[in-house]
Structure 1
Amino acid sequence: MMSSYHDSVLLKESIDALAVKEDGVYVDVTFGGGGHSKEILKRLGKNGKLFGFDQDPDALDNIIKDDRFTLIPENFRYITRFLRFNGVRKVDGVLADLGVSSHQFDEAERGFSIRFDADLDMRMNQKSKKSAKKIINEYSEEKLAEIFFLYGELRNSRKLARTIVHERSSNLIATSFQLKEVLRAYLPKNREHKILAQIFQAIRIEVNEELDVLKEFLQQIPNLLNDEGRLSVISYHSLEDRLVKRFIRTGLFEGEPEKDVFGNSNEPLKKVGKLIIPSQEEIKINNRARSAKLRIATLK
């Protein structure tokens, strides 16, 4: 199951970034197929501990039978709460491999992929009441335009929203291919795939509150890490990467940190090394890696 579920991107680099201590406590907040977790466990000694987070029930099929490992079936926005529930207040490293897993894209019925005709779903947490179908058929024109502009970076966001609202007034838009047909006029042959990917990305981010989740997660990291603890984050699009980069640099998501009378500011983290991207060899083997960016940080 695990090998077909998801090929771990930047596997060695992201785990090297954690500088794993044999008796350390680590968290993989995007467990998925377990590839990164297995690599961390290889480097842990018998007294080390690893916690995995994943809200997708499919990930439970990949659970690792190891006394040092605990899988928490929750969204990683609640990292502090559920680690405390498990008796942990500080950790030596946190890994996040953001975005959608290959498995979620390849499961047609999940509605993540533009390749399949499936119900407009896109929920990573199947218990959530907010699906892509609900957003497309119930959000106001203004709200839809805002999502397409902010999360899909689409300049014609207003036209897309207007077209959807006009169409849904007479027909429910229920599947991915129906949505594609509704927006056909905005999908020139040479750019169809790219524009559809941006549209689907925007809807998916809204369904799963991905940017809010990322912000809440990052804000908890400074209080979770031990001295010399590491944060290792892989992102796949500019919206995520911008938030990660900015938080590591300033401890904020907008504006600049305040300075004291001596000109010193109080950013909680500092970056470790430079931005890491996959090699051409890795991209050839795993196309999903092409847009990946790895950023590493530690406490200041």
Structure 2
Amino acid sequence: MILTTAIAPALWGTTYLVTTELLPPQRPLLAAFIRALPAGLLLVALTRRLPQGVWWWRAFVLGALNIGAFNALLFIGAYRLPGGVAATVGALQPLLVALLSTGLLGERLTTRTVLTASAGVAGVSLLVLRADARLDAWGVVAALGGAVVMATGVVLSKRWASPAPLLATTGWQLVTGGLLLLPVAWIVEGSLPSSLTLANLAGYSYLTIFGSAVAYALWFRGLRALSPTDVTFLGLLSPVVATALGWLVLNQQLTALQLVGGLIVLAALVTAQLKKKPSTRTPSIPPVPVTERV
């Protein structure tokens, strides 16, 4: 289950490469909208299942948090901050999820979780942060807000167990998020490009099918079976995959500090998934006193 769930952030880690090499420039919100709404409609059409009862508003809330608000804030932060700063702020998600899980799910916050989450942030910063990175107050607020809404959505996804099939629940959230992103993308970036190349269409198709429909289905499947804190730690794979693809495909150079950062992130991922084994020692049974027969 952990390995299949890890496929989701690995697929999200390919987004940077696909966006820079295949998509029209300066249209990130359009990409977020296209990857959400068509994927959601596809899953709803396949499952032919609509929300019922309280799940109308729950699907709206989860879609807004996990898809709509998260992507809008993510791209605002990406516009106003260097990518390394935005990724480092986003790496706070495991710690935020652990804190929210103590209040909403009753999970215990351990020292190991705090230290592992802190190590993950440090590793990501070494991996992607540059010394000349500039800070923008509104960009930091947007990036932090994106981490908070995504963490809240993850915990609520675990708290609200949907009776519907996984693909249906995923589709509801993607449709909601896509519809919320549509006016934001229109206001910020304007109408659709007048023409799209085959490369553009291939990039959008990849993001819709693999980066959204497949990735989110695996992500929410993991949330149903695993602790939300454990699942969110897997999200640290995204900057690792993005950096590795930049080196392999785009011939970007890797420094020694980046390699150290990548190793720290991988160590944090492994440590987060390790569980304390329960004691296998058989408890001693006190001897039963022998009573004399009368």
Q: Which has a greater percent of strand?
A: 1
Q: Which has a greater percent of helix?
A: 2
TM-score (norm: length of structure 2): 0.26
| Larger RCO, structures 1/2 (Cα 8 Å, 6+ apart) | 2
